[in-house]
Amino acid sequence: MSTRSMTPSRLVVALVAAGVIGGAGATFVSGSLARAAAPAAAAGAPITAATTPAVAPVIAPTDFTQIVQRYGPAVVNISVSGMKKVAGPGMPPGLDPDDPFYQFFKRFAVPGGQGEREMPVRGEGSGFIVDPNGIILTNAHVVAEAKDVTVKLTDRREFQAKVLGSDPKTDVAVLKIDAKNLPVVPLGSARDLKVGEWVLAIGSPFGFENSVTAGVVSAKGRSLPDDSYVPFIQTDVAVNPGNSGGPLFDSRGEVVGINSQIFSRTGGYQGLSFAIPIDVATRVRDQIVAHGSVRHAKLGVTVQEVNQTLADSFRLDKPEGALVASVEKGGPADRAGLKSGDVILKADGKPIVASGDLPALIGEASPGDKVALEVWRQGKREEITAQLGDASAKVASAATGGDKAANGRIGLALRPLDPQERREAGVDGGLLIEGSGGPAAMAGVQPGDVLISVDGTPVKTVEQVRAALAKSGKSVALLIMRDGNRIFVPVRIG
């Protein structure tokens, strides 16, 4: 219904089988371009290349008037309404049943306690027509939990819309209105976009219908926390609440994205906007129109970024790839032989530079497809082929005594887990971290964490930890479990 804000995350752990949700975003940073004046040459002095400084060419911003005039009528305003349950006050004590206010409070409260009541909620967003017979694309969060959806065209006609389908994983929804011969927008491809290229957004920020903002592409293929399936287009186009679901045009007048999210500390636009590539939205639309639902592929791993310290620990040439933090028991990756500590470098020949590249590539596939993975394991490359599963399918999960020991080199006090602790943690081995200091504490390791492996080698005893540390160089990668999540923590010890 409104633009969704996003806060920074210190450590992004993207579950490849997880989904995504969006908010809306785009903005225009205006500025004047001035030609720098060259200093005048001395009288009578010959003008040579050495005395004439080079002047950078001035590139004028793109004129978007033709795009707005031609395709603006295909951009719609979406109003939604529904009911939301909210906590209400309890019945006032001592109120007489004959009191006229008794029935009033009885309708909205639970006597003697905190009740719940329904309140009407309303919201606005944007969308665009992709079929002259009334098919409209917008964001899933615009129509989430809406009971009534009204679409208003630029000619002021209004239609009640039916939600054909909504996919929270990609934040794409498909609507249908009962109308014919409607104006439509042409669809392009985000693959053709270049960083620095001018782009245009049309939408209804704060209810101001068909507002136009412009900017440039800031980056491509951005992965955001909890939005694993979408390689977002980052722009500096002004997007605010109400822009959600509106189109992002390139300079050729083709829609290349759906404005979805903004990065903001205030709730309003702050120069960082994100759009869902139209290629992703088109695949979702086709499935919804054909089947009424969307199926997503799943690899079944949790991945994290490879920084320089982790690259040193795993003896990688450079900090690239998706580091596998955990593997879903019985999932596609588990069946293919992927292990925690593997670094996925390529998928179907496409390089994985940032960890977010992997879920975006998996999101382009379908359940049942096979994907060839190039993996870095124990200092060498291996080829693994995995058959992708269905993200909606349920997978059944399966769930030594010793003295305390401290390792002064890394700063950990460890002891093996007892059988009950192993069952609660859902691990076969591991050691409880009872104390953390020195390099480990500086890296963020905390008492209560469970140490699973060192540099990819599983550990069950303190002696195994000592042996693994003896082989390490100036840094070591610790796989720890915290609050049920597995993450690699790079620790510099050299």
Q: Beta strand pairing status for 4-6 and 255-263?
A: parallel
Residue 185, both tokens: 């927008």
Considering the candidates 2, 211, 223, 244, report the single residue annotated as catalytic.
Answer: 244
Phi and psi based region of residue 155 (left: phi greater than 0; alpha: psi -120 to 50; beta: remaining):
alpha
Considering the candidates 171, 227, 312, 455, report the single residue annotated as catalytic.
Answer: 171
CA-wise closest residue to 246 among 474, 482, 493, 24: 24
Phi, psi of 362 (to 5 degrees): -65, -35
Residue 366, both tokens: 């379908």
| Whole-angstrom distance, CA of residue 228 vs CA of residue 216 | 24
Residue 222, both tokens: 């951005």
Specify the DSSP class assigned to residue 251: T
Is 296 known to be catalytic? Answer: no
Residue 201, both tokens: 């957004």
Considering the candidates 141, 167, 326, 436, report the single residue annotated as catalytic.
Answer: 141
| Whole-angstrom distance, CA of residue 282 vs CA of residue 188 | 10
Q: Report how far apart, in Å, the C-alpha atoms of 387 and of each of 69, 121, 365, 372 are.
A: 47, 44, 11, 9
Neighbouring C-beta atoms of residue 274, cutoff 10 Å: 29
Measure the CA dihedral 76/81/82/84, to 10°.
110
Is 244 known to be catalytic? Answer: yes
Give the helix/strand (H/E) hosting 387.
strand 380-387
Residues with a catalytic annotation lie at: 141, 171, 244
